[in-house]
Amino acid sequence: MIVLSGTIGAGKTSLTTMLADHLESNAYYESVDDNPILPLFYDDPKRYGFLLQNYFLNKRLENIKDAQGSPLNVIDRSIYEDRLLFQLNADLERATQIEASIYSDLLNNMMEQVDFSNEAVVKTPDLLIHISVSFDTMLDRIKKRGRDFEQIEQDSSLYEYYKELNERYSNWFDAYNDSPKLQIDGDKYDFVEDDDAANAVLQQIDDKLVSLHLK
């Protein structure tokens, strides 16, 4: 499997579609527009944060099991990011530290049960691709896609949340070592709007896949 990672607005969904089309493989998407809990979370994060995180965990495991039939299938969000996301909510008092600790233990136990062997129900990615974007680019793309519940104008506290989230992603990617990885510069390569940039990004990914003997 190829798994995409990156902060809100990085372009994961767009690159997932583009890459799956390019590789003639299947795309598996994060449950966002059809997620009944996400708008509730943005309205009241303390109440719905733990429920939302477990909803995402369940959906991600389903995607991983469905996608692992081919090393070139593409998933638009990594399960390995979930701890980062929920811990940030706890640190900003949008969830409790007890909830973050319980969730972390749950994630660890689930991954120990399903991962890391040739006969595992779920295996680690063949490649993790991280789209790195600046904070300004992140805010611009969140504004462009226009989901009301994500807009800072609707909730000024989201500014600090987005800023801290973007900063933590860099450290998360540096520390990630569960699989081969590749970082895409989302500021330099606007692959959503620019065909030349899209082709350059796809070439970077092709080169990495060839080096891993996946293509």
141 is in an annotated binding site: yes
150 is in an annotated binding site: yes
Alpha-carbon gap, residue 55 to 41, rounded angstroms: 12
Is 76 tagged catalytic? yes
Q: What angle do CA 190, 156, 43 make, to 5 degrees?
A: 95
144 is in an annotated binding site: yes
13 is in an annotated binding site: yes
The closest of 106, 64, 74, 100 to 85, measured between CA atoms, is 100
Rg (CA), the chain: 17
145 is in an annotated binding site: yes
47 is in an annotated binding site: no
82 is in an annotated binding site: yes
Number of alpha carbons in the 13 Å side-chain half-sphere of residue 49: 23
Ordered strands of the 127-132 beta sheet: 27-28, 74-75, 2-5, 127-132, 181-185
- Which two three-digit tokens encode residue 138? 């992140």
146 is in an annotated binding site: no
Termini Cα distance of the chain: 12
- Amino acid in the structure at residue 39: P
Catalytic residue among 21, 76, 105, 140: 76
59 is in an annotated binding site: no
30 is in an annotated binding site: yes
Point out the residues that are catalytic.
76
Which residues are documented as binding site for ATP? Answer: 6-14, 141-145
Q: Which amino acids are annotated as binding site for substrate, given as ranges?
A: 30, 42, 53, 77, 82, 150
